Chains A and B, each alone.
Chain A
Amino acid sequence: MSPGDLDPAEAARWAARSGLSLPADRHAAVAATAHHIHSVVAVLRELEFGDTPPAHAYRAEQEQPDAAV
């Protein structure tokens, strides 16, 4: 485990901070999966983004929720 990884108790604490209370028998599995996800997405830190904006779609005008297709 590298210094940045969460142990099972830390994973449970982080989840609780997100409002998700994990039973004790879930801590190890969630920590392991979170570690795997983190190891995959962390590679994005290599990228030089400069002024690149996120790819969100947002429009200021409100859609008509009951508009016909």
Chain B
Amino acid sequence: MRPYEMSLTEAADAIRARRLSPVELVDSVLERIERTEPRLRAYAAVDAERAREAARAAERDIAAGRHRGPLHGIPMGLKDLIDVAGTATSAGSRVRADHRAAGDSAVAARLAAAGAVLLGKTHTHEFAYGLTTPQTHNAWDPGRVAGGSSGGSAVAVAAGSATFALGTDTGGSIRVPAALNGVVGLKPTYGLVSRHGVTSLSWSLDHVGPITRTVEDAGLVLTALTGYDPRDPASLTAPATDYRPAAGTDLSGLRIGVPSTYYFDRVDPEVETAVRHAVDRLRALGARLVDVEIPMARYVQATHWGLMVPEATAYHERTLRTVPDLYQADVRVLLEAGELMSAGDYLRAQRSRTLMRDAWHRLLREVDLIAAPAVPATAVKAGQETITWADGSAESVSDAYVRLSSPANITGVPSLCLPVGHDTAGLPIGMQLLGRPLGESVLLRVGHAYERTRPARELARAA
């Protein structure tokens, strides 16, 4: 196995055992970037010299007995919404030309303290306001969308051009590209990971989280990211936790909710089959399956839009007036139309959110977690705008990709997306596990148990 093919866990174990040096690993991943970027375009910027210098420093530290932990010497990419001092946070937009971040975001600082090596910034849909990331190509079929908005991060991890990456998620932007590229994405509990220094799409819905090759990898990264940060008003004071899942696969005693409404409606039959097969596998590991009804399903999209649209417009208020022509057409018109929403619309969405959170908390007293498809369809062809379902209804690609993700943004509950197979075209299918607030350890345990029953995943085919 070549170093760029290693999962984070494998690479960390090899570095700790001195079987692999950070310099070898980073060189291998940088070579991989050179080979894959012409086809996939996952990165907005790569700083190879900085990465090599950090790898040499990590090698020296580890040789001197100063091993900082599993992320030490591991190369990673950051979504280009995440500030790194002295570098541009371009946010996929011409609006940010000449930008330079004054300081590190909280997550960049935490990863640097853990010894992770920054490779570069990965492409995002402009200001995270979209679900395709048109700059980037799907790692399994370059003619298809990467998903978004953290498309560059997911493609880089799937292709072997980053050992892990960070994304952000306001309505599915970690989990959608993770699902479409066959990697793991974790949207943590709202407030668990600080958003200080991360460009906002919608303050009340934004999350930061890891994109990795395995569930165990996601646990390792999450452990490094969490901790109270007074600079993020939503930051939680959760106790420090080691999120690395235990090795066991026994799920006896766990109650897994399987939605009888909403999550399997208007879902591609191949996606449904793969997810139900994965759920059956969890039952075979000892879990008890419980039918559950999703509360307030009729109000999910209205609540999500009622929060996100006016908040996004507010964030861009100044530049929408000074440099509107620098926005891409799809984002500009949403920002402009958001000016016409009333305070009443926004407050109804905030009050609906309260009701929805309460209803989900009641639901999650009946079960320990919920298993469902991550997205209702695999990656569509680039340029495709709508999906037509078996019932004859048509839905925009963006609406379809957000539909199953946004409940976790509205309620703030954690959601782990992991690959559970491929469709007949060879495109990855993702399942999501939704848990109680701060229930990440349960999700990671279940996801890891599932992965241990499957053969190790390979890198994306087209990469």
* Residues of chain A having any CB pair with chain B under 8 Å: 6, 11, 14-15, 18-22, 26, 29-30, 33-34, 36-38, 40-45, 47, 49, 52-57, 59, 63-65, 67, 69
Tell me the minimal C-beta distance from B303 to chain A in angstroms. Answer: 7
Tell me the minimal C-beta distance from A39 to chain B in angstroms. Answer: 10
Tell me the minimal C-beta distance from B320 to chain A in angstroms. Answer: 7
Q: Are B348 and A20 in contact, CB atoms less than 8 angstroms apart? A: no
Q: List 9 A-B contacts (CB under 8 A).
A: A19-B321, A30-B337, A34-B340, A37-B340, A43-B298, A44-B306, A52-B354, A55-B204, A55-B351
Q: Are A33 and B351 in contact, CB atoms less than 8 angstroms apart? A: no
Tell me the minimal C-beta distance from B205 to chain A in angstroms. Answer: 11
Residues on the B chain within 8 Å of A43, using CB: 298-299, 302
Q: Are A69 and B309 in contact, CB atoms less than 8 angstroms apart? A: no
Question: Which residue of chain A lies nearest to B301 when distances are taken between CB atoms in the complex?
Answer: A40
B352 contacts partner chain A, Cβ-Cβ < 8 Å: yes
B357 contacts partner chain A, Cβ-Cβ < 8 Å: yes
Q: Are A52 and B109 in contact, CB atoms less than 8 angstroms apart? A: no
* Residues of chain B having any CB pair with chain A under 8 Å: 106, 109-110, 194, 196, 204, 227-231, 233-234, 298-299, 301-303, 305-306, 309, 320-321, 333-334, 336-341, 345, 347-355, 357
Residues on the B chain within 8 Å of A44, using CB: 299, 302-303, 306, 345, 348-349, 352
Residues on the A chain within 8 Å of B230, using CB: 63-65, 67
Residues on the B chain within 8 Å of A21, using CB: 321
Residues on the B chain within 8 Å of A53, using CB: 351, 354
Determine chain B's interface SS by DSSP, over half rule.
helix
Most buried by A among B109, B204, B321, B340: B340
- Give complex CA distance A33, B306 in Å: 14
Q: Are B305 and A41 in contact, CB atoms less than 8 angstroms apart? A: yes
Residues on the B chain within 8 Å of A63, using CB: 230-231, 233
Question: Which residue of chain A lies nearest to B356 when distances are taken between CB atoms in the complex?
Answer: A55
Residues on the A chain within 8 Å of B355, using CB: 47, 49, 52
Determine chain A's interface SS by DSSP, over half rule.
loop
Question: Which residue of chain B lies nearest to A29 when distances are taken between CB atoms in the complex?
Answer: B333
Tell me the minimal C-beta distance from A33 to chain B in angstroms. Answer: 4
Residues on the B chain within 8 Å of A57, using CB: 204, 233-234
Q: Are B339 and A14 in contact, CB atoms less than 8 angstroms apart? A: yes
Residues on the A chain within 8 Å of B309, using CB: 37, 41
Q: Are A33 and B336 in contact, CB atoms less than 8 angstroms apart? A: yes
Residues on the A chain within 8 Å of B350, using CB: 54-56
Tell me the minimal C-beta distance from A65 to chain B in angstroms. Answer: 7
Residues on the B chain within 8 Å of A14, using CB: 339-340
- Give complex CA distance A26, B231 in Å: 38
Q: Are A54 and B340 in contact, CB atoms less than 8 angstroms apart? A: no
Residues on the B chain within 8 Å of A26, using CB: 333, 336
Tell me the minimal C-beta distance from A42 to chain B in angstroms. Answer: 8
Tell me the minimal C-beta distance from B351 to chain A in angstroms. Answer: 5
Residues on the A chain within 8 Å of B321, using CB: 19-21
Tell me the minimal C-beta distance from B160 to chain A in angstroms. Answer: 31
Residues on the A chain within 8 Å of B354, using CB: 52-55
Tell me the minimal C-beta distance from A19 to chain B in angstroms. Answer: 7
Residues on the B chain within 8 Å of A29, using CB: 333
Residues on the A chain within 8 Å of B338, using CB: 37
* With A47-B299, A56-B350, A63-B231 as contacts: A15 and B194 at CB distance below 8 Å: no
- Give complex CA distance A15, B320 in Å: 12
Residues on the A chain within 8 Å of B109, using CB: 69
Tell me the minimal C-beta distance from A25 to chain B in angstroms. Answer: 12
- Give complex CA distance A34, B210 in Å: 34
Most buried by B among A47, A53, A63: A47
Q: A54-B353, A65-B230, A69-B106 known; 19 other A-B pairs, CB under 8 Å? A: A26-B333, A26-B336, A30-B336, A30-B340, A40-B301, A41-B345, A43-B298, A45-B348, A47-B299, A47-B348, A47-B352, A53-B351, A54-B347, A54-B350, A55-B350, A55-B354, A55-B357, A57-B204, A69-B231
Residues on the A chain within 8 Å of B228, using CB: 69
Residues on the A chain within 8 Å of B351, using CB: 47, 49, 52-55
Q: Are B340 and A15 in contact, CB atoms less than 8 angstroms apart? A: yes
Residues on the A chain within 8 Å of B348, using CB: 41, 44-45, 47, 49
Tell me the minimal C-beta distance from B175 to chain A in angstroms. Answer: 21
- Give complex CA distance A14, B341 in Å: 10
- Give complex CA distance A8, B165 in Å: 43
Tell me the minimal C-beta distance from B183 to chain A in angstroms. Answer: 27
- Give complex CA distance A59, B306 in Å: 23
* With A41-B349, A52-B355, A65-B231 as contacts: A20 and B339 at CB distance below 8 Å: yes
- Give complex CA distance A1, B355 in Å: 32
Residues on the A chain within 8 Å of B196, using CB: 69
Residues on the A chain within 8 Å of B347, using CB: 54
- Give complex CA distance A11, B339 in Å: 10
